Amino acid sequence: MRIVFISLFLLLSGCASLTNSPTEVEEAIVHTPPVEDNALTEPSEPVAPVFVENILPSEAEDVWHRIRIQLQFAPSNHERVQNRVDWYLKHPNYMETITKRAEPFLYYIVNEVERRGLPIELALMPLIESDFDTSAYSHKHASGLWQLTPLIAKHYGVKIGPWYDGRQDVIDATNAALDFLTYLHKRFDGNWYHAIAAYNTGEGRVVRAIRNNKKQGKSTDFFHLKLPRQTRHYVPKLLAAAQLLREEQMAFPKIANQPTIDVIDMRHGVILDDKKKWAQLEVLNPGYTRFPALLDGPKHLVLRKGESQNWQDYVANLPEMPSEQWQKYTIRRGDSLSVIAQRHSITVSQLKSFNQLKSSRIRAGDTLMLPILADKQIEYKVKSGDSLWRIARHFDVTVSKIKQWNSLSKDVLRIGDKLTIFLAAP
């Protein structure tokens, strides 16, 4: 008699796409071993031969071309795919917007997909998930290019805190998304369409849909599964974008097929004393929610190619204590790092980082450096006639930051809504 030990642990609801309006209730998904009735043992979806132009990916004209010559998923004539192709063709300016947003990051994403040996179509998923909008939020609290939910992000080691949300960091988010997709591909026995659908709606729903079809003697391929409307159109959107590339039915503005960013080590947090000079950092590192404070983030920083030395020189020559951004604090008897950190709305790890402390031991009379992150953290109540643009202009902040601070997925406000606004020190 065999005893099968089944280990169940709570994981992570599926990632939410921003490109569909119907709302689906986010569910907690349980990772389960393959079902005993072999409902998941069908072969993968058909894979077309790789399109060959007798050139290496590194020799492609641009990044879109690099993707095109490596497409693997079979073309589909399914109505849902063709309807999305028609939608793209009726919106010729769409790819111009997408390309502008994707330009800093697409080469990196393509490289990561290639490095892992995954289908190149996965590099198109941020197009489907977020329209390549790094600051995108969904009604399911998913965020960033890959629309990672908090549960999925934290499961794969992505940091989310008061001043940093790693779901909007291209490095951490891409790693987490591809890790998750790799898991789902294995979970669904090599069927990429099922894996991608599960990325969108949660693996539990896809498992149940497959089992139901199996019991009813129906096909278990993706197009026959009973799934939420959003997910039924999710995979077709990806296939449609791939078809447009494969058949060159639509212009994709060129993105240079060469590295556009450098990823450098960041040993400790920094508060910029020249926000205008380094404004590009906010574009490339959107995970920092209270720019120009680069605090509590990952151990790396994304820079435009060729800017690494300038950054190193800048950090090396930062004034020890910019008067408008730092303050000295004299340690009093009875103080501890946790007490001081709480009093100044920072974490103990940040406090130790600012002062290069290797331990938590402090002595009365010593001084610590503390950042002045903001003069005010206010709560603003939305009034009649308000809009995000008006509020942002009034407080001299950006609309994207207000949305980021308040996890807003839309621009619509209701009278009486309360918004958190951070006013930087003058």
53 tagged catalytic: no
Cα distance between residue 172 and residue 153, in whole Å:
9
Cα distance between residue 393 and residue 222, in whole Å:
47
Catalytic residue among 26, 112, 129, 307: 129
CB atoms under 10 Å from CB of 41, counted, come to 13
Cα distance between residue 255 and residue 99, in whole Å:
7
* Residues 155, 409, 172: CA angle, nearest 5 degrees: 30
What amino acid occupies position 360?
Answer: S
The dihedrals phi and psi of 218, each to the nearest 5 degrees, come to: -95, 165
Cα distance between residue 211 and residue 218, in whole Å:
10
Cα distance between residue 169 and residue 284, in whole Å:
8
**Rounded to an integer, what is the distance from CA 30 to the centroid of its chain?**
22
Angle separating helix axes 388-395 and 399-406, nearest 10 degrees: 100
Q: Compute CA distances 53 → 67, 237, 253, whole Å.
A: 12, 25, 20
Residue with tokens 């969108």: 200
What amino acid occupies position 237?
Answer: K
Bridge partner list, 301: 264
Residues annotated as part of the active site: 129
